[in-house]
Amino acid sequence: MKELEKVKRISISSTLFILAVLVGVLAYERPENMYARNTKSTLEDLTRLNYIIPMDKLDSPDVVLVDIRRPYDFEQGHLENAINIPAAEILREENKKIFRKLKDSNKLAVLYGNKIEEANIPFLLLYQLGYDNVKLLSVNNKYLHNSLITESADVEKPVANIRAFIDESVRNATKKEEVKKPAVIPKKVIPVKKKKKLPVEGGC
Amino acid sequence: MMVKKKLARFLSFRYVLLALILLILAGGLVMLPKVEKQEGIHAEQLLNKAISTERYVSTDELSDKIISQDPSFILVDVRDPQSFNEYSLPNAVNIPLRNLLDEEYEAYINQTQYDVIFYSNDNFYADQAWVLGNRLGYQNLRVLKGGINEWYNSIINPTVPNEQLAAEDFELYSTRKAASMFFGVMYPEQNRVEEPVIEKPAARKVVPVKKKKKRPVEGGC
C-alpha cells in the first residue's frame, strides 16, 4: 500500500509538471518585432555600407520616398510622390506591411525628415529589424513662405576648425593689444579741457 | 489481489505514457532556441525611447557642467581619432563609432555611476551610438544636441545679438562669451580693457582736484 501511494504521488506530480510545461509552451510569446540583426553586425554595417542617398540619385523608379514627419508637416508640403509614415508609427502593423512589401519587390524605401538626423532613428530601427532596403535621403527640409525648401545635407560635416579658431583668437587678441597701446596713450592728454575752462575764468 | 494487479498494470502503462510526453516536450524545448535569440530590449520600447528628446543635452547645459566641474558625467567622442586629436572637449574619451561595442570600451558605456554624453560633429553618429547602447540596455546614455558644430556656434563663437533682441539674449550671449573664454578663446578687448581701467581713474583723479582749486579762484574774482 505504501508503495502504491508513492507511485500515486509521483504520477500526480509528473502530471502537474507536464501541465506546467504545456502552459509555458502555449504562453510562450514571440516578441512582436523580431530583430534580424544584433548590435554588433548593425554597427559593422553602419561603418561599412553606404546608406545615405543624395538628392540627385532619386530618379530611379525603384525608389519610394517615405516622409517620417508628423502628418501635419506632411500635409503642409512634402517631396513629390512621398508617402507619410510618422516616425512614432513605423512599427505599426500596417506600416511594417508597407516596408515588407517594398522589400519583397526589391524597392528602396528612402526616409527623410526635417533634418537627416531626424530620419536617422527610424532608419536605424528598421534596419535592425531586417529591412535592409531602407536608406536615408541626405536632405534638410524647412517650411518657409508657404513652401517646402529642401536643401542637401552634409552629414556630420564640421562647420569650422575650432582649434584654428581658438589659436587665431589668441593671436588676434595679443597682437591688437600691442598695436592699440600707443593709440590709447594720447587720450591721457586732457589739457583741452583746461583750455576751455580758462576762458570761462577769464570772462568772469 | 485482482484489483491490485489491474492497478499496477495500469500504472506501469501510465509511466510509459508520461515518459513519452516528457520526451516529446524536451524535444520541443530543443527546437525552441532555433528562433534566433533576441538581443536587447524590445523594438517598440527602443522606438519610444528614441523618439523622445530626453536624451539630448544642450551645449549650454554641457558648458555649465564642465565649468562647474560637475563630476557626474563622462564625455565620449565617437568621431575618428584624427578629429578627436585635432579638437575635442575637455577630458573626453575617444571611442570611434566603429569600436563602440569593443570589449575594451564596455566599462565606459555600460555602467550606472556616470552619465555618458555621446557627441560627434553633429548628433547623427552620436544618436546611432545611443540607439545601439540603449538596445543593449545600457543606462544613463545622453547625446550632445548638435554636437561639436553646435558647440562651436553657441559656445566657442557665439553670435552677438543685434540690438532689437530681448535682454535675455544679451544675458545668454555674455554667459556664452564668458564660457568661450573659459574654453580658451580670447577676445581683443579682454586685454585692452584692463589698461584703460587703470588709466581712466588716474585721469579722473587729476581733473576734479584741479577743479576744486579753480573754484575758489573763480569765487575770488
Q: Which residues contact residue B170 at a Cβ distance below 8 angstroms, ignoring those fewer than 6 apart?
A: B161
- Please, are residues A4 and B7 in contact by the beta-carbon 8 Å criterion? yes
Local confidence band at A190 (pLDDT 50, 70, 90 cut-offs): low
Helix (H) or strand (E) holding A65: strand A63-67
- Contact with chain A for residue B140, Cβ under 8 A: no
Range with lowest mean pLDDT among A111-125, B16-30, B61-75: B16-30
Residues in chain A: 204
DSSP reduced 3-state for B141: strand
Question: Residue B197 has what pLDDT?
Answer: 43
**Could you give the CA distance from residue A150 to residue A152 in angstroms, rounded to a whole number?**
7
Question: Residue B168 has what pLDDT?
Answer: 87
The grid cell for B38 is 533576441
For B78-83, the CB contacts below 8 A with 24+ separation are B78/B118, B78/B119, B78/B120, B78/B125, B78/B126, B78/B129, B79/B120, B79/B121, B79/B125, B79/B148, B83/A158, B83/B121
Report the DSSP beta bridge partners of residue B51.
none
Q: How close, in Å, is residue A23 to chain B by CA atoms?
A: 12
Q: Which residues contact residue B72 at a Cβ distance below 8 angstroms, ignoring those fewer than 6 apart?
A: B65, B114, B115
Considering only the beta carbons, identify the residue of B156, B206, B221 that sits closest to A162.
B156
Distance from first CA to last CA of chain B, Å, rounded?
Answer: 152
The grid cell for A3 is 508503495
* C-beta atoms surrounding B133 within 10 Å: 22
Question: Residue B33 has what pLDDT?
Answer: 56
Express each pLDDT in A52-108 by its tens digit: 988 888 877 888 999 999 999 898 888 888 999 999 999 999 999 999 999 999 988
Tell me which fold the domain B43-154 belongs to: Oxidized Rhodanese; domain 1 (3.40.250)
- Contact with chain A for residue B206, Cβ under 8 A: yes
Considering only the beta carbons, identify the residue of B40, B46, B98 that sits closest to A47.
B98
Report the mean per-residue pLDDT for chain B.
83
pLDDT of B132 above 50:
yes
pLDDT of A185 above 70:
no
Alpha helix (H) ranges present in B32-152?
Answer: 43-51, 59-67, 81-86, 103-109, 124-135, 147-150
Flag if A163 and B87 touch (Cβ within 8 Å): yes
Strands A139-144, A147-152: pairing kind? antiparallel
Average pLDDT estimate for B137-154: 94
Q: How close, in Å, is residue B23 to chain A by CA atoms?
A: 11
> Which residue type occupies A62?
D
Determine the residue of chain A that is closest to B15 in CA distance. Answer: A11
Question: Residue A196 has what pLDDT?
Answer: 52
The proportion of chain B whose per-residue pLDDT surpasses 70, expressed as a percent, equals 81
Considering only the beta carbons, identify the residue of A34, A46, A158 that sits closest to B148.
A158
Average pLDDT estimate for A140-156: 82
Question: Residue B19 has what pLDDT?
Answer: 81
Domain residue ranges of chain B, discontinuous segments joined by +:
43-154, 190-220
The grid cell for B101 is 561595442
Average pLDDT estimate for A182-193: 53
Flag if A159 and B152 touch (Cβ within 8 Å): yes
Report the DSSP beta bridge partners of residue A150.
A141
Question: Residue A178 has what pLDDT?
Answer: 54
All domains of chain A in start order, with CATH: 33-196 (3.40.250.10)
**Could you give the CA distance from residue A131 to residue B84 in angstroms, rounded to a whole number?**
33
Q: Which residues contact residue A117 at a Cβ distance below 8 angstroms, ignoring those fewer than 6 apart?
A: B122, B123, B124, B127
DSSP reduced 3-state for B75: strand
Express each pLDDT in B17-39 by its tens digit: 878 888 888 887 777 655 556 88
Q: How close, in Å, is residue B207 to chain A by CA atoms?
A: 9
The proportion of chain A whose per-residue pLDDT surpasses 70, expressed as a percent, equals 85
Higher-confidence residue of B196 and B84: namely B84
Express each pLDDT in B95-118 by its tens digit: 999 999 999 999 999 999 999 999
- Please, are residues A143 and A74 in contact by the beta-carbon 8 Å criterion? no
Express each pLDDT in B169-212 by its tens digit: 999 999 999 999 999 898 887 765 444 444 444 445 444 545 55
pLDDT of A137 above 70:
yes
The B residues from 53 to 82 touching A (CB cutoff 8 Å) are: none
Average pLDDT estimate for A37-41: 90
Higher-confidence residue of B124 and A11: namely B124
Question: Residue B4 has what pLDDT?
Answer: 80
The proportion of chain A whose per-residue pLDDT surpasses 90, expressed as a percent, equals 32
The highest-confidence range among A17-21, A140-144, A168-172, by mean pLDDT, is A168-172
Question: Residue B165 has what pLDDT?
Answer: 82
Question: Residue A99 has what pLDDT?
Answer: 92
Higher-confidence residue of A121 and A17: namely A121
